[in-house]
Amino acid sequence: MSIEEISKRIKECKKCGLWKTRNNAVPGEGNKNAKIMIIGQAPGKQEDILGRPFVGKAGKFLTQALEKFGKKREEFFITSIIKCFPPYNRKPSKKEIENCLPYTIQQIKTIKPKMILILGEIACEALINKKFSEVRGKFIAKDGIKFFVTFHPSAAMRFKRIREKFIQDLDLFFKFYG
């Protein structure tokens, strides 16, 4: 299945109640042949309005962080485990994750990245079923795929201590997969 076909299915999805409150589904975007995928938690309000991932404040922070390492957004395929904005920016429910995760898994199978950069606790637990605190800043192999776990940019943006660790994590990540 192509990325375009997966995106079409995501935009038509009604597996959970989030379709009723969304403006736009946010399938993801970027290089369909990316060596690295970046996967976060869920779209925010700006993402819901524009139908694009990581375009709000946290997205701008992520873009700037990538640029510090000489990287451009367009090099990656960027998405989230949830494809619709949870109202009031709440954490996605287990049911919402269960319904949406197969789309993300299909995107991974189609793109076949060498590495996946996981942003935040929710994405970490959904994708590799590990506690964030145990694997943050580490390379993990699961089902033949390599993952690296770091903080979500929204947390890094708000808290100086987390921001420093986030940048350190990205530095380690790009030293190996730059």
Domains and CATH numbers, the chain: 3-177 (3.40.470.10)
- Taking Cα atoms as reference points, which of 98, 66, 27 lies closest to residue 169? 66
The pLDDT tens digits for 91-133 are: 999 999 999 999 999 999 999 999 999 999 999 999 999 999 9
Residue 89: its pLDDT value, please? 85
pTM of structure: 0.96
Per-residue pLDDT for 178 more than 90?
no
Report the percent of the chain where pLDDT is more than 70.
99
Residues 85 and 48 sit within 8 Å (Cβ to Cβ) = yes
- For residue 66, the Cα-to-chain-centroid distance in whole angstroms is 14
